[in-house]
Amino acid sequence: MRQPIVVMGVSGSGKSLIGRQLADRLGAPFVDGDDLHPRSNVEKMAAGHPLTDEDRWPWLAHVGARLAAPQPPAVIACSALKRIYRDHIARHAGREVAFVLLDGPRDVLRKRVGLREGHFMPPELLDSQLATLERPASDERAVTVDVTPPPAEIVERIIGALPDGVV
Ligand SMILES: Nc1ncnc2c1ncn2[C@@H]1O[C@H](COP(=O)(O)OP(=O)(O)O)[C@@H](O)[C@H]1O
Ligand SMILES: O=C(O)[C@H](O)[C@@H](O)[C@H](O)[C@H](O)COP(=O)(O)O
C-alpha cells in the first residue's frame, strides 16, 4: 500500500494548496490538518497566541489517527514543525509516513501568508513558526522542496523526490 504523505511547513508555505494539488495528482484523498484542531486551539491562534506543546499533542495525535484509518488520505497538511511532533504523528499513524517540508525564504512566506483570506492564523505568527521549525534531519523519512516555483512544478518535484514505495 502507498504510504501517507504529510505536507509540512510554516504558515504560508503552501501546505493546503500544494497538499491538495499533490493529492489530486495522485488521484487520492486530501485532508487539511487545520480542520482537525479542537476549537480551543483555533481560538487561541485567532487571538494571536502561538500554540504550546500541550495544545499540540491532541491535535497531532488526531492527525496521526487519520493516517491509521483503513483508508487513510494519501496526503495530509500539517505544520509538524518539530521532530517530536513528526514522531508523534508517525507513532499514532502506526505505519510508515513520509514528510515533505515546503521551505523557502522568509520574504516569500511573509507575502504568501498575507494573501490568505479568512484564515484563523494571523500573519504575525509567522516568525514564531519559523523560530519553532526544526528542519528534518537526514535520518528522517523526509524530503524538502523549495516553495518559490509555481504550484504544478512543486508537485512534480515532490513526486520526483519522494523515496520509493511512497507513491
Ligand atoms: N507555489 C506557490 N506559488 C504561488 N502562490 C502560492 C504557492 N503556494 C502557495 N501559494 C499561495 O500562498 C498562500 C498560502 O498558501 P497556503 O496553501 O494557504 O499555505 P499554508 O497552508 O501552508 O498556510 C495562498 O494564497 C496560496 O494560494
Ligand atoms: O498554515 C498555518 O497557518 C499553520 O500551519 C496553521 O494552520 C497550523 O494549524 C497551526 O500552525 C498549528 O499549530 P503549529 O503550527 O503552531 O503547531
Q: Using the predicted structure, report yes or no on whether residue 1 has a pLDDT greater than 60.
A: no
What global pTM score does this model have?
0.97
CATH number of 5-161: 3.40.50.300
Q: Is 14 in the pocket of ligand 1 (CB under 6 A)?
A: yes
How far is residue 127 from each of residues 24, 110, 160, measured CA to CA in Å?
Answer: 31, 9, 30
d(CA 109, CA 106): 5
Map grid coordinates 497531532 to a residue.
60
Q: Hey, which of 10, 11, 17, 126 would you mutate to test ligand 1's pocket, going by the most ligand atoms within 8 Å of its Cβ? A: 17
d(CA 133, CA 63): 18
Q: Is 41 in the pocket of ligand 2 (CB under 6 A)?
A: no
d(CA 53, CA 113): 23
Q: Is 50 in the pocket of ligand 2 (CB under 6 A)?
A: yes
The predicted-structure confidence for 83-92, as pLDDT tens digits, reads as follows 999 999 999 9
ipTM of the complex: 0.96
The predicted-structure confidence for 98-124, as pLDDT tens digits, reads as follows 999 999 999 999 999 999 988 999 999
The predicted-structure confidence for 69-81, as pLDDT tens digits, reads as follows 988 999 999 999 9
Domain boundaries, the chain: 5-161
Average pLDDT over residues 4-22: 98
Map grid coordinates 479542537 to a residue.
38
Identity of the residue numbered 63 = V
